[in-house]
Amino acid sequence: MMETLSVLYIWLKSAHIIFVVFWMAGLFMLPRFFVYHQESAVGSEEAAKWVDRESKLIKIILNPSIIIVWVVGLFLAWNIGAMAESWFHAKLLFVLGLSGYHGWIVGYAKKLARGERKLTGKQLRLLNEVPGIAAAIIVILVVAKPF
């Protein structure tokens, strides 16, 4: 029984890492898509193509990945007893923040689809740094467990 759980744990941990990579890739790509989308004329054929690309990225990569990351991640944390660890609480805080960012950029995609362009290209390029900074902090918390 323990051997089966050990093998299952390794596969679930692998799945968690793989889907974190997919999620992060989507979080990097979508704001970059926004930059190009905003450079196209409102209502143009090019803008419609960006809406389609953004929608596919959200539906095929981002949303499934965040669900799998959360479900598998919580199972893994429960399995190793991480829920009682300070490093895990900090990690969870950053993952919640990244999840909020995910929700915000999905919402911004809907605004762009309606022709609303509230942010500049420069602001979107700066927002593109959020997932990278969060990922660096999360990796340090998980690997180094500084507290």
From the annotation, which residues make up the binding site for heme? 16, 91
Considering only CA atoms, which of 120, 19, 115, 124 is closest in space to residue 62?
19
CB 73 within 8 A of CB 16: yes
- Measured between alpha carbons, how far is 50 from 57 in angstroms, rounded to an integer? 10
Residue list for the binding site: 16, 91
- DSSP string across 56-115: HIIIIIIHHHHHHHHHHHHHHHHHHTGGG-HHHHHHHHHHHHHHHHHHHHHHHHHHHHTT
Considering only CA atoms, which of 67, 69, 58, 40 is closest in space to residue 108?
58
